Structures are given as C-alpha cells and as structure tokens.
Amino acid sequence: MSSQTASLLVEETNQVNEQSNDIVEVTGIEKVYPGGTVALQGVDLAFPRGKMTTLLGPSGCGKTTLLKIIAGLLDATAGEVRINGKVVSGPGPERAFVFQDFALLPWATVVKNVAFGLEMQGVEKTLREKKAREYIIKVGLAGFEDNYPHELSGGMRQRVGLARALAVNADVLLMDEPFSAVDEQTRRLFQEELLRLLGMENKTVIFVTHSIEEAVYVSDQIVLLSPRPGRINRIVVPGIDRVGKTSDEIRRETGFLDTVEDIWDTLKKYLDDERMI
C-alpha cells in the first residue's frame, strides 16, 4: 500500500471475515423495552479476536443497549450472545465493562476501586491490591493510589475505570463512550494511551462512541447502526497504518478524512430522514 489512500483503504463488507477467529458473536439479537420500544432488531454481528470494533450510530440507535446485552447486563428479548463459541446469559470473567460515567465507588480509594473487580472474583486482598497498583501505574495514575474519586479530574477517573477493567484480565473489554466526559485534549491523549495499552494487553475491544473521528482513529472495524430500531447498516474497516506516523499525521491523511466523511454522509442521511418525519 504505497499511497495514503491505499494505506487507509476502506473496505465494506456485509460479514466479518475469519469467522473462526471471532471471540464474540451475536445472532438474531432483538431488544424490546417495556412499553413496546424496539431498540434493536435482527442484529447479527461477529467481533474478531484481538481487534477493536466500534459501534457507531445516531442517538437512540441501541449502541449502548447492544453493548450491555453483550456484557450480560441486559437481557435480549430474542437472540443469543456467544463468547468463545459458548452461549452466555449474564456477565462473565471473560468480559469487563468500562462505564461512561466511570461508575467508581465514591467511598473507596483509587486502589480499592481498581481492585474491586478482583475482589468480586474472590482474589485475596494483598494479591488484588498488588495487581491494582500495577495497573494504576500502567494507566499513569502513580501517586494517586490513596486518593478518592472526588479528588480526581474526569480524565483521571476514567483511567481508574480503565485500570479496573484491565486488572481482571478479561479477554473482551466493553467500553461505553469512555471518553465522552473528558475534554478534547484529554480525549486524544486517551485514544493514544488506549491503543498503546491494548497493544501491550492484546484485548478484544467493543467500543461505543458518538465521535466519527474517534471511531475511525481507534478502530479496526466500525459497525454502523441505523436509527431505532437499531439494525446493522454496514461495517466499515478503516485500514489505518500507524507505523512510523504521529497522531496528527494520521488525522491529516486523505484516507482518514475520506473515511470520516463517508461515515458522516451515512449518518447525515439518517438525520435528514428524521427531519423529514
């Protein structure tokens, strides 16, 4: 791939390749909330192992609902979720969730918050706190171990949430708009750090975001959902080659900008359709 466009080639496909390598599979997922609101309908998706997949779509398209169904935090009305080929019906040790509002225990210190997932899994105190401290250093919060969440900035709180999810060593990381509560500078910094951490940890990530640019920058594949009821519209694979390039260089490349524009065109159609209604 010599040219910029070629290096950031956008592939469109109706199904994910390498089916056997898919760690998470959802088939026929439907979610109807009490009151009759159909949030999701006929969702079939596969998430490749070790890759980052982003769920993107207009507000209310069921992105978070789908993520929570995969996490086992919500029951689907129909359909099934398979992790490593096994049907699951609730949360499990192979999945960890990073919450949009951080979901930190206000009465617990940073180290206790990070160790919380391990505590729930019955890991002995000394061991879990040792592991928690390792991840606190990894996410760049060394020195804040004994602080309480209200003493941290929004960005620092989300690092605690990320460290907590990484500490349990789950194969799949489910992230619900993790950077929506932080400012733009911190957000970009986070994106870099997330990619660095994931490079080290080799996790599969399912990521929900509202930001097209963020989705294109961090993802291996982007799943575009249609407005309610949420269905798969198409899957975009931005083939970003990050080797030897800075964040700014990547963001200025034609291929990157074309992909952002292409996704925006799709989402804009939805907005136009809504206005027509």
Interface positions, 177-216, toward other proteins (CB under 8 A): 180-183, 186
Q: Which residue stretch of 48-56, 88-96, 124-132, 194-202 sits at the interface with other proteins (rule: CB under 8 A)?
A: 88-96
Size of the site for other proteins (CB under 8 A): 40
Place of tokens 């929900």: 208
Tokens of 22: 């898919």
DSSP H stretches of helix in 44-183: 63-71, 110-114, 116-120, 125-138, 154-167
For residue 75, state whether it binds other proteins (rule: CB under 8 A): no
Report H helices in the chain.
4-7, 63-71, 110-114, 116-120, 125-138, 154-167, 184-201, 212-218, 247-252, 254-276
* 99 lines the binding site for other proteins (CB under 8 A): yes
| Contacting residue, 156, 173, 212, 263, with other proteins by CB under 8 A | 156
Instruction: Candidates 95-103, 125-133, 196-204, 244-252: pick the segment binding other proteins (CB under 8 A).
Output: 95-103
Specify the 3-state DSSP secondary structure of 207. strand
Binding other proteins (rule: CB under 8 A), the pick from 35, 126, 150, 276 is 150
Q: Within a 10 A sphere around the Cβ of 132, how many other Cβ atoms? A: 27
In the range 5-44, which residues lie near other proteins by CB under 8 A? none
Contacts of 245 (CB under 8 A, 6+ apart): none
Q: Kindly state the tokens that stand for 194.
A: 């997330």
Q: Which residue has the tokens 């918050």?
A: 113
Segment near other proteins (CB under 8 A); pick from 89-97, 228-236, 246-254, 258-266: 89-97
Asked if 175 touches other proteins (CB under 8 A), the answer is: no
Q: Measuring CA to CA, which residue among 15, 3, 82 is closest to residue 237? A: 15
- Check residue 88 for interaction with other proteins (CB under 8 A): no
What are the tokens at 60? 């209310």
Binding to other proteins, residues 120-139 (CB under 8 A): 120-121
Binding site for other proteins (CB under 8 A): 68, 71-73, 91-93, 95-97, 99-103, 105-108, 116-117, 119-121, 147-156, 168, 180-183, 186
